[in-house]
Structure 1
Amino acid sequence: MMEGNQAAAFAERQQGTLPGNLAIEWEEVANGSARGRFRVAKGHMAPNGFVHAASVVALADSACGYACVASLPEGASGFTTIELKSNFLGTAKIGEVVATRAWLVHGGRMTQVWDAEVTNETTGKLMATFRCTQMVLYPR
């Protein structure tokens, strides 16, 4: 387990990857939780003029994944996602701020379950709920 807020380290680590390309910013990445956001830009959009569902999933999944790394049990080397689910309740347009918060629901030695909520901070409305199950990996 990592101690303290690791947001800066994860922000640097994501450069050149999908979360970096989506310009996701991290407020918190810590043992048991994460909070991040992006300002909706053209690269987040679907052709219909609304934020693409994959952008929302990338935000929630990154929050859960980063917090999972910060919450790994002693001796674990990483994790892999074995299931994820998302329910969409709203959307956003260019210029609006989309934010997520993720929290640990179950932190076992072999699996972790994470929940996240994604909100349109500009309107204050919940956009999506998200849950994923992570399998904890150990060196062989």
Structure 2
Amino acid sequence: MLRPEVTIERLHAGQEGKLPGHYGLRVTAVAQGRVDAELEIQPWMHAPNGFLHAATVILLADTAAGYASFAHLPDGAKGFTTIELKSNFLGTAKEGTIRTECVAEHLGRNTQVWSASVFGPEGRRMALFRCTQMVLW
């Protein structure tokens, strides 16, 4: 169940001075079973080959999954930790905004599973991501 106190503003305030804040990640939606986010590609996010570094794509998807887990923690849970993540890269970009749509696959008492699609500036899917979180009690 979505925790009503978890808002976009609260998530943004919590990332100040942290890695997602340095990347300029912006949450665009928090809803039941879903978190969407985006970031603007900067040249310093490129790999030596001149294309977007895979770590930037993972940061976007993994942060959305983490925020989604936080927003959907069961009553009484103290937090969560990632126990597995996987990414499949289908494309890349050099500039523009990339965005992710992260949706719940499983919201259990002890684990959560989130799937995210990352889309490039032209709206084409550029990565698939899956993350399993362990709920901490």
Fold match by TM threshold 0.5: yes
Q: Deviations over 1:40-98 (max 9, x none)?
A: 1023211111110000000000000001000000110100000000000000112x110
Q: After superposition, where does 1:3-14 map in structure 2 within 5 Å? A: 3=4, 6-14=7-15
Structure 1 stretches of 4+ with a deviation exceeding 4 A read none
* Pairwise CA distance, 1:31: 3.8
Q: Distance in 2 between matches of 1:5 and 1:68?
A: 11
| TM-score of the aligned structures, taking structure 2 as reference length | 0.94
For 1:118, the equivalent position in structure 2 comes to: 118
Amino acid in the other structure paired with 1:62: T
Is the aligned partner of 1:38 residue 2:39? yes
Over residues 82-138 of structure 1, what are the superposed CA-to-partner deviations in whole Å (9 max), with x where a residue is unaligned? 0000000000112x1100010110000000000000000x22210100001000001
1: CA distance, partners of 2:33 / 2:78:
17
Please say if residues 6 and 71 of structure 2, whose CA atoms lie closer than 8 Å, have aligned partners that are also in contact: no
Aligned-residue identity in percent: 49
Equivalent pairs, count: 136
SS at structure 1 position matched to 2:102: strand
CA displacement at 1:12 relative to structure 2 = 1.2
Q: Report the Cα distance in structure 1 between the residues aligned to 2:124 and 2:89, rounded to whole angstroms.
A: 11
Aligned to 2:97: 97
The TM-score with structure 1 as length reference comes to 0.92
One-letter identity of the residue aligned with 1:128: A
Aligned residue in 1 for 2:27: 26
- Structure 2 unaligned spans of 5+: none
Map 1:51-70 onto structure 2 (within 5 A). Answer: 51-70=52-71
Aligned partner of 1:127 in structure 2 is 126
Where 2:68 maps in the other structure, the secondary structure is helix
CA contact (8 A) 2:35 2:102 kept: yes
Alpha-carbon distance in 2 for matches of 1:63, 1:111: 16
